[in-house]
Structure 1
């Protein structure tokens, strides 16, 4: 594929996964959504850089808890709480003991239940507290590394499991099964920031990456057992849990 086409695929990923403005395209092929998934972790570079910048600047003016809140709010604004929504829907669907078809029906429901509410509260609270415990430098580093790593852990599920939605879900094209080549792109973009900047806090960075890998493994087994595969919401849940796991592991080693 040409470089121009790769740039087009990245723009498609940016448009799908964030609220950042993207120039209008003269033409569009639905297959581009499927191929753009390889750039999901690269989108995390931009989101992570924005959150890291806000945390760094805010830490010079506000208390750590406020700086952490502003950084997390930046991520929510940039993504439109896209992945948080997936976490809530997945926990509502899989939190109770229901059959596979009923779980998929719950995921389609836009209403949020007790499992989803608690998942959002606990997941956001843990990230907030963990980030607030880090100084400006390490906190900014953790945010920049966390976003692509967590997205890589979630996106790589698409190469390991089957997509289980048979309807016309809006996530179906971008969440379609990925090739081995696409998986290499995903993992490369996910790991490159850590390879370039991990030397600043090597053990904490390694701990964060291992935590994301552990979340990927747990989610893969969980989704296979309960759903027989994954959905777009399930990917969002894995991404959010990956972020939290990365931050907690990073703090545990860096503190």
Structure 2
């Protein structure tokens, strides 16, 4: 990763081992970019660059990239996937949306379904929500005691380290929106018939626990931002800022991985297509 790209990414990184406060991050911060139209154009270019790099990653077939997207309801996980990865061909990319665990999933350890969905070598895997639901929702709703939550933090860190040691780079983005912005987006889902399908009455119940969810996010960010899989907190009130930040970091990470097309084990000059 170039010095410029690293400096950009570090602006949003939760530094491992240092205390992090979520309230210090302004969800409307747009200082990373100067102009909305220029940023949207840049994001389009970056998405095409990501597609080209993904093609090399797929051809190489030795490593993979896991992109974790977390955020409160309406934070823009779907929009980020469309805005950053829409140009990426379907071959070599998988998207997994983590919803309420099924009976089969509940019959296993909480990381079982996450490991099952991890990208194969050569793939980019995107988690829309993730294994972190099991320390967020469980903490806020009291589904597990504090001792178990603390154990899960450690297990998640060990799980992600195992992934990185086996060739999977882990990128984790927390899409950080304000309570006011969430209100606007939820109201839009109510007002626009085309977005009614997105509205879930349960989201209003979670909204009542806004402060508790913010505390739970802060706890996991402090516990699970590691040297091998750091968290990035992305100001997400402005969708174009959100997409621009994620696209830059994803592209820089793939460039740092530097996947290569495999060299032919045969001589092209020895063959002729009739």
Could you tell me the TM-score, scaled by structure 1's length? 0.30
The structure showing larger relative contact order (alpha-carbon pairs under 8 Å, at least 6 residues apart) is 2
Structure with the larger helix share? 1
Could you tell me the TM-score, scaled by structure 2's length? 0.28
Tell me which structure has the larger Cα radius of gyration.
2
